[in-house]
Structure 1
Amino acid sequence: MSRMARLGGLAGRIAGNVLADGGRHLARGKRPAINDLLLTPRNLTQVADKLATMRGAAMKVGQLISMDAGTLLPRELAGILDRLRQDAVIMPSAQLVSVLEDNWGEQWDQKLARFSFEPIAAASIGQVHQGLSHDGDPLAIKIQYPGVRESIDSDIANVCSLLRIAGLLPRSQDIEPLIEEAKQQLKQEADYLHEGAQLQHYRNHLAGFGRREELAIPRFYPALSTDRILVMEYLEGRSLEQVLTAQPQLANRVVSLLMELFFAELFDFHAVQTDPNPANYLYSTADERLVLLDFGAVRHFSPEFVSRYGAALSAAADHDRQGLTHALEVLGFFRRGDEVANRDVILDIFLMAAEPLRQGGAYNFGGSDLARRIHSRGMSVSRDPEAWHTPPPDVLFLHRKMAGLYLLAARFGAVIDVATPFRQYL
């Protein structure tokens, strides 16, 4: 109830801002559109601030929204919510000790040789601390915020209501399938024993990956873990942002590795880490390996789905519009034979997104205007709410990952061959 009241208070402040700003415009003889009054930096910042302090599911919804490719929500909201990928409010020490006692008992400090109270990272569901095992192993200990799991359903419902009230989600848009998937994903991410099992499962898959030696993945410590405390091997590394900014010559190697790993995940593992946040990776300059982190968002796909999605990608890469239409119908993008207002837009975006897959040789992500073209075509849908369309959840989570990789490649000017590994894994 208190969490809902906090969001209700935010909705009230946004409404007040709209009235005040609208009054000022009217006093000047202007009649602004309601969206122009809603989508102000002040309103959007207040939404982002509130989600950051609520943590948990409320903040996660903001993170999911921020990763949208730009065809669902206004660019201004996506840009401001983007900071939620890194921002979180950490637990006070007394709360932290309470969580440790609840999970490890009153003598929790006997579990480890050393524990650092200062977190090294904080996110939407938990924060990470360093520790040392009695065997001398350096540990990364992820500790869940209290109440996160219990608040998932209500927080997501409240946040979506807030976004609709604030005009940041159209009332006509059916996002229920996505919301249900977000709830299920969050509940899995809030079960740290499940994440540990996913981590171990992913490690097993990597054994057959051709570029395995270029990757580092932490070990899981099940004896020390609970459903709300995840204990892993601590691996040294620097953020991709730091490394690729300081050493831009590494961009081609790192991005090509991530692209090839994605194709292996989809076509070989049938298990994809679907969160494209760059904070899920580190780079170890000591042994020149990419460190993989965070396996709560690993999503498993059936062989049937992978085959169908592969057919769609193949048709797009071959610029086969008719074949792509059929493949997307099979995937459930639109009902066969029905008229769909945005069918041509979806096909155009798919064909544009497959441009690197049909490039002969290396594709210059940094020198391409691909993102601008996709955004421009997508905006033609955004301007017509009746034509908006929510893809099947499986596809949407895959596209989040692909969009994240494309944006990373463009940001650091990668020039890499994507078509060859795609065809090999396909």
Structure 2
Amino acid sequence: MMGMGALAGRLAQNVIAEGSRQLLKGQKPRMSDLLLTKENVSRVTDQLARMRGAAMKVGQLVSMDAGNLLPRELADILARLQDDAIRMPATQWSAILEKSWGADWQEQFSRFSFNPIAAASIGQVHEATDRSGRHMAIKIQYPGVAKSIDSDVANVVSLLKMSGLVPKSLDLEPLIVEARAQLHMEADYRHEGQQMRDYGAAVLSMDQADSFLLPEWFDELSTEQILCMSFLKGAPLASIPPGSLEASRVMSELFRLFFAELLCFGRVQTDPNLANFSYQSDTGKIILLDFGAVRTYAADFVKNYQAALEAATANDAVMLGDALQILGFFQGNINATNRSAVIDIFLMAAEPLRTSGLYDFGTSDLASRIQQRGMSISSDPQAWHTPPPDVLFLHRKMAGLYLMAARLAAKVDVSHIFKEAVQNPP
């Protein structure tokens, strides 16, 4: 990567300078503190921004696996990358449309917004209406994304290691392989369109289908770099008053959808952040958006994960340990203390499923308790054996739902919803 050598030199210079300053003050410098100075973090952030898609994917996977081992600086960098969306100039995105649709592509539309209405990690979204009156959302991929995935992922990992932003004990190789695979899949917008169609058909088969809206995929206009779908107008989920009955109803429906995804569809949308949902206050419907992170689960995996959830809801640590062993949570040489700690964390995470009646996410301190328990074993690398990607993405889904429910101060009977899904599949 251009600039990596120069960046390494600048980081080293800053480390030496900061170390010298601390020594002159009679302080004993620590390498982690020297690396993670404000100036170094700023330089690393600027470099990662040039590989935004790969940086966000690798950071996402690392944070799912290492959790509380990560320094606050990396979380801040990822948040900044999420917020600082890059916009393509009109000359760039129009060239992409012209290449796919022809020089007269504008003739197909009665209206086309030249300013994007949203931006994602590897593309941006424009609003348009075609000559037949179809109201569309058109996602256009940044040029060169697909071709640079492998090199970008390798460079991001090198940069994170160089900067000291990831623990030395963390085994990055499985995450690198998964990051590459995920990005190649997400960079194929026709694949996302097919996922949108298939996932939508599964949602429409639910008894609660009326609670949701999904965009229609316009495959005749879509390519690997262009995703065309129907435009659905809605407000952010964050616009729902926290603690309201509506907030609790919406989150109840999203938990119901999750258990249907896992136990019935075998197809889970694994990126549950607020930006991937909208809400129509007049109809009460939840709009589901962004299907690049839909992941398919084999029947055997679903059966084993359901066994783990049922053991956790029954507070049966022995049965849960057996289920987690089958799912690949433990290395063969894990000691009893670390094994017990991992089981404890899973039991904590299942608290909403085990609680009879409404679980108040707004007042719960579950996240801090899990963090404290995780920190108690963070010094032992053996405790952080990376589970299979299928497990990591499911945990990301559940953690995301918990976070959304906490932000909306929702009260949800998760236990009843889970039991209902097991006994009477939607």
Q: Give me the TM-score of the superposition, normalised by structure 1.
A: 0.93
1:206 and 2:203 matched: yes
Q: Which residue of 2 aligns with 1:376?
A: 372
Equivalent positions of 1:13-92 (< 5 A) are: 13-65=10-62, 70-92=67-89
- Assess, with a 3 A threshold, how the Cα gap between structure 1 residues 331 and 290 changes in structure 2: closer, same or farther: same
Q: Which residue of 2 aligns with 1:125?
A: 122
Q: Identify which range, 47-56 or 170-179, moves more after superposition.
A: 47-56
Shift of 1:208: 1.9
Among all aligned residue pairs of Structure 1 and Structure 2, give the percentage whose two residues are the same amino acid.
55
Q: Which residue of 2 aligns with 1:186?
A: 183
Shift of 1:63: 4.3
Shift of 1:35: 1.6
Q: Which residue of 1 aligns with 2:396?
A: 400
Runs of 4+ in structure 1 off by over 6 angstroms are none
Q: 1:237 aligns with which of 212, 234, 237?
A: 234
Q: Deviations over 1:296-324 (max 9, x none)?
A: 00000000000001111111111111111
Secondary structure at 1:368 match in 2: coil
CA distance in structure 1 between the partners assigned to 2:323 and 2:131 by the alignment: 55
1:163 and 2:198 matched: no
Shift of 1:361: 0.4
Secondary structure at 1:372 match in 2: helix
Q: Which runs of 5+ in 2 are unaligned?
A: none
Asked if 2 retains the 8 angstrom alpha-carbon contact of 1:341 and 1:387, the reply is no
- Assess, with a 3 A threshold, how the Cα gap between structure 1 residues 337 and 381 changes in structure 2: closer, same or farther: closer
Shift of 1:240: 1.7
Q: 2:362 aligns with which of 350, 354, 366?
A: 366
CA distance in structure 2 between the partners assigned to 1:13 and 1:281 by the alignment: 41
Q: Which runs of 5+ in 1 are unaligned?
A: none
1:217 and 2:214 matched: yes
Secondary structure at 2:377 match in 1: helix
Shift of 1:341: 6.3
CA distance in structure 2 between the partners assigned to 1:8 and 1:256 by the alignment: 51
Q: 1:310 aligns with which of 282, 306, 313?
A: 306
Q: Which residue of 2 aligns with 1:329?
A: 325
Q: Identify which range, 5-14 or 323-332, moves more after superposition.
A: 5-14
Residue type of the partner of 1:262? F
Q: Give me the TM-score of the superposition, normalised by structure 2.
A: 0.93
Asked if 2 retains the 8 angstrom alpha-carbon contact of 1:86 and 1:122, the reply is no
Q: Deviations over 1:163-195 (max 9, x none)?
A: 111111233321222221121111111111110
Secondary structure at 1:20 match in 2: helix
Q: CA RMSD in A?
A: 2.0
Q: Which residue of 2 aligns with 1:106?
A: 103
Asked if 2 retains the 8 angstrom alpha-carbon contact of 1:319 and 1:351, the reply is yes
Secondary structure at 1:113 match in 2: strand
Residue type of the partner of 2:219? P
1:424 and 2:420 matched: yes
CA distance in structure 2 between the partners assigned to 1:390 and 1:346 by the alignment: 12
Residue type of the partner of 2:315? H
- Assess, with a 3 A threshold, how the Cα gap between structure 1 residues 14 and 54 changes in structure 2: closer, same or farther: same
Secondary structure at 2:219 match in 1: coil
Q: Which residue of 2 aligns with 1:300?
A: 296
Equivalent positions of 1:126-145 (< 5 A) are: 126-145=123-142
Residue type of the partner of 1:216? L
Q: Which residue of 2 aligns with 1:153?
A: 150
Q: Deviations over 1:6-42 (max 9, x none)?
A: 3444444333332222222111111132122233444
